[in-house]
């Protein structure tokens, strides 16, 4: 049974030493920052993949203000599961007549947003201050 086998690091010089498993909390941190009455910034740090996308999704649930900026400047990896969360949140915002923007300058994240055409219907910014100005004024 594979689940019962601990992850270990070992070498020819000594016994294998267990190392801690990565958890969604270790891989992705998400912070909600109420910028003002009409603007929420959701800042993510780490990797957004199948194991961690739920954390981001939870941060984008509930009653949201008129504008939401998703700050991904500290995200090094964005998987398709994370992309689905972003698109779902943006679709919900459009249906509720709210605005959404994404901030990133990380090439892997930008590449995925462009590859799937997300940047054609969700504004993508390279700097948080630009996103805050633009999204707030829409």
Domain membership flag for residue 81: yes
**Which pLDDT value is given to residue 138?**
78
Domain membership flag for residue 3: no
Number of domains in the chain: 1
CA 122 to chain centre: 14
Domain membership flag for residue 31: yes
**Which pLDDT value is given to residue 24?**
58
Q: What CA–CA distance (Å, rounded) separates 68 from 35?
A: 10
- Indicate which CATH number applies to the domain containing 39: 3.30.750.24
Domain membership flag for residue 9: no
Mean pLDDT to the nearest integer, 124-133: 96
Domain membership flag for residue 46: yes
Q: What CA–CA distance (Å, rounded) separates 46 from 74?
A: 6
Q: What CA–CA distance (Å, rounded) separates 40 from 24?
A: 23
Domain membership flag for residue 2: no
Residue 131's domain comprises 23-136
Question: Can you give the pTM of this predicted structure?
Answer: 0.81
pLDDT by residue (tens digit) across 106-121? 999 999 999 999 999 9
Domain membership flag for residue 86: yes
Domain membership flag for residue 15: no
pLDDT by residue (tens digit) across 35-73? 999 999 999 999 999 999 999 999 999 899 999 999 999
């Amino acid at each position: 049974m594979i689940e019962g086998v601990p992850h270990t690091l070992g070498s020819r010089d000594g016994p294998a030493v267990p190392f801690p498993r990565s958890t969604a909390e270790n891989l992705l941190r998400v912070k909600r920052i109420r910028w003002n009455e009409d603007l929420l910034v959701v800042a993510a740090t780490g990797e957004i993949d199948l194991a961690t996308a739920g954390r981001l999704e939870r941060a984008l649930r509930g009653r949201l203000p008129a504008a939401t900026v998703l700050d991904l400047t500290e995200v090094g990896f964005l998987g398709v599961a994370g992309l689905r969360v972003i698109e779902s949140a943006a679709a919900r915002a459009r249906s509720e007549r709210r605005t959404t923007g994404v901030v990133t300058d990380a090439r892997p994240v930008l590449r995925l947003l462009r590859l799937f055409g997300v940047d054609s219907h969700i504004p993508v910014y390279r700097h948080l201050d630009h996103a805050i100005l633009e999204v707030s004024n829409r």
